[in-house]
Structure 1
Amino acid sequence: MSEPLKSEIAREAEALGFDVVRFTSADAADGAGAALHAFLAEGRHGDMGWLAATADRREAPLALWPEARSVILLGLNYGPDGDPLSILGERSRGAISVYAQRADYHDVFKAKLKTLARLVQTLAEAEVKVFVDTAPVMEKPLAAKAGVGWQGKHTNLVSRDFGSWLFIGSIFTTAELPADAPEEDHCGGCSRCLDICPTRAFTAPYRIDARRCISYLTIEHKGHIAPEFREAMGNRIFGCDDCLAVCPWNKFAHAARKTTLSVREETNNPPLAELLSLDDAAFRARFRGTPVKRTGRDRFMRNVLIAAGNSGDVTLMPQIEGLLDDASPLVRAMAVWALSRLAPQRLRALRPFLAPAEADPAVRGEWLEAAA
């Protein structure tokens, strides 16, 4: 194993703009595979069937690539320049998670990783593979094993230098590189991340039920969002930063400095009135190149309508009313719900004209619930 080679790779990573570079062996992080299978067996992954489909490859790096010997973990800081929870008090605006207010990190990260991987291939005379999030790699346990940070009680990675705000990617290689020491768990007796969760998604420390998580509900969940979660969602329309933002280790965090990760105006917690007017083409144009685009217009509009229903802003009523006959049942159902919150009398007046023609059972159910 070559310590000088490792140091040279670290220097190249820093020159490329990575904020963190750490190294570990390609064997599995302790307990990660067992925790994944328990999570899946209990159904806590919800609609995320891809997790179950890739579980065998995901549980250990060597299951994904048996020839791998080392993993290089890279981090990019995306820290906000203010309190990301302050937007929750502005109910006429939609709260978008800090990570999604920027260019899609998959694109930004992968370009940098590929450049570094080519250098590693040349320097180490070894094979390499690059992975960012979408691949079947358990990056958080690997990052903890490499000493990037530790998985907190909210199951997310926490860094002593960057708090909650790190994008993580990895380079697998056949080169033997010296491993860094793992990071210890520094959560102690703190439970702020567990206590703040609006939907009580944490069933115990270090244990999450994704089916109750607002990030899952607004991004991954494909169907109608259960009534029990809607009010708790507030104005969160894409993701949720509550458990990340309250972590005390954020006192060491600082705002992202890279222009490629600058906040975009179109995703900077925009007014709900702007979003309610988006058809599919306008949605795609507005959110091109950002993580928001991958939900699709209908699921996104479902979220926006829930936020509108929670807003108390009656000036949004005409736009909501215009979505009662939208082509998507997801949108129609939440338009009924939103109008029932803001103007129940107006909804009752419209019911004889729109409800009888409704073919979708879920939307019919919203009409019946609103009329009850």
Structure 2
Amino acid sequence: MTDVHDPGPPAPVPSGAGRGLGPFVALPPERFAAEHWDRAPLLTRAADLPAPTHGFGADAVDELLSRRALRTPFLRMAKDGATLDARELTLGGGVGASITDQVSEDRVLRHFADGATIVLQGLHRTWAPVSDTARGLSSALSHPVQVNAYVTPPQNRGFDDHYDVHDVFVVQVAGEKHWRVRPPVLEAPLRGQPWTDHRDDVRAAAEQEPVVDAVLAPGDCLYLPRGWLHSATALGGTSIHLTFGVHVWTRRTLADDLLAAVGRVLDDDLALRRALPPGVDVLDPRTVASAREALRESVLAALDAVRDEDLAAALARGARAAERAEPLGVLAQHAAADAEVGPRWRVRDGLAARWEGPTLVTRVGRVALDSADAAEVGALLAGSSAPDDLAPRLRRRLALAGVLVSGPSSP
């Protein structure tokens, strides 16, 4: 049964959301946030969207499988609703590459010809145009994004009805796929609440009439909030689609960080660190009951002791760990940092920068600065100054720290 509740008011839409959402939805960002985000599916046809920016297709699939030396888990395959053992898809790397689990295109071909679906995982790390598109979407939504590709042979279905624990934007790349979408059996599931915990409910719900019953053609996009049941069948020729998975931050995320911070405060409470008396019966529920009120008072005091800054720092650490900054070329960056004729510099995308006093903390490391340099870098990050305004010494240091990159902005 669907867990129906009031989702509350829509979240505010970040500035720049239109650019990042543009390849996926035709609605204004405010309307998408109010009517669909975390609420309801949305199908957008290719005719209403700009030309794709992901640069992905059949040639990319073949290159990744045959020439990029992929290893599991960057690849998996599924057939009849079950995932194949990774050892069925890999071989050794040969002379000079003592790696035992490189993808074997020959084995993949045999399984694909037998009806198995190819799943290329983590494309936001292995295919540059997909990475750029994913980074734009993540910036627009302020939630981490990962990308997989699903390559399904004709008239086959890779997975049975199921739900995901993250939102997805499905982008059809090649061929056609028939999608059926049904309401959730568990609304807004968390990452620790997979569909396999509700197999019977999912199986029963899969017999209901779908709320979306549509064929996606190349360029079409389907948004699915987490929890919505779905299955898809390839029609005619080979189908390729991308899923941009959005791993949303929730209030439950904040609750976990808050409880962890409360635990650290309780660690400093000497009374709680004392041993229980000899002879205590820890199997007797009355033991807990007698201590419950005192524990409650200690927990409430610890809760009040957690500062907003502590909670914000914990969330920032999670955000920095969830994604990586814009890629940079190691040799090109090193050469540019020491070039006599200065290149054009800009602040690197996706830094998730935060200040801890005069220390700049980002996804790529920490840069300890004196107060004068911190003020200059703060102005740079705020957009009130440009890299050219920095002293060459400071500009070089930020370049080697990966805070600045040379060249035009990524698309």
Instruction: Kindly indicate which of the two structures has a greater share of residues assigned to helix.
Output: 1
Q: Fold-level match, TM-score > 0.5?
A: no
Instruction: Kindly indicate which of the two structures has a greater share of residues assigned to strand.
Output: 2
Greater Cα radius of gyration, structure 1 or 2 = 2
TM-score by length of 2: 0.26
Bigger relative contact order, structure 1 or 2, given CA contacts below 8 A and separation 6+? 1
